[in-house]
Structure 1
Amino acid sequence: MCTDVRTCNVDTPIKEIATVMCFNKISGMPVVDAENNVVGIISEKDILCSMFPDMKELVDSGAKADFEGMEKDYTSVLGKTVGDLMTSVVASVSPDMPILRAASMMWIRKIRRIPVTENNKLVGILSMGDVHKAVFQESLLLNN
């Protein structure tokens, strides 16, 4: 896991989060409160999905999706806060959980990162890349 985790809070502007994500090649980050309790997670997917209209409404109305207009409307998304767009039901793992069990939780939920917590306090984040690296290193050790 990575213990140097970039976090944000519910009041952080999306413009700030998008800047951090784009310039640091981060696809998501935990949302924490003042006591470092995990209260949500915000991802690029959350931000981009907020730009799309409700597909059921779009189909029911018979309207065409104006994708070019949606791209231009991105600035309205930047005016929102993390609390407006974050996923508030967050799965987490403990630091002592077997790595493949943690990976299976990510696979089942179709997520690429999961917060690592102790008593709901953020202590790190585990990504699929971390899992792959750990399994690969263990494989090298066993074969030598």
Structure 2
Amino acid sequence: MDVVLGGSQKCLSAPPGLTFLSISEDAWKCMENRKAPIRGFYTNLIKWKQMWYKDRIFPYTQPVSDIFGLSEAADMILEEGENVYIRHSRISRAVRETLKEAGFKVFPKNGAEADTVTAFYIPEGIDDEKFRRHLWERFNVMIAGSWGKLKRRRG
């Protein structure tokens, strides 16, 4: 993989607001050899690389509270150990199986699922907003909707 991007709120149980970024040498070379200039400061990773690795300048105020939150989340993961993965896998499997037993079509197909996100299609004729509100009000379960062509069709 040439570029890997992650967020602190995904899988780590840390507050949202931090991004993790890994860039391969090939990706750096591609950016350095591009013909069109990179517009803007925040989108120009070449400038960021120079500022941090060469000049040791960090160009904005550090989100200290987010970093403390990430540190605590990392400590909790290290304390729980590999059980973190086992717990996520067990719960996600149970959620998918329960949805299937209730007649929902789970997405993606078997073998391509993630243990941190479960998506399913809302059957035709069911209002997804009312369905999600019912889950929240009756069972204290919050699920996100979808967007684009799948808006109102997938939970």
TM-score (norm 1): 0.26
Say which structure is richer in strand. 1
Pair member with larger Rg = 2
User: Higher relative CO (CA 8 A, sep ≥ 6), structure 1 or 2?
Assistant: 1
TM-score norm. by structure 2 comes to: 0.24
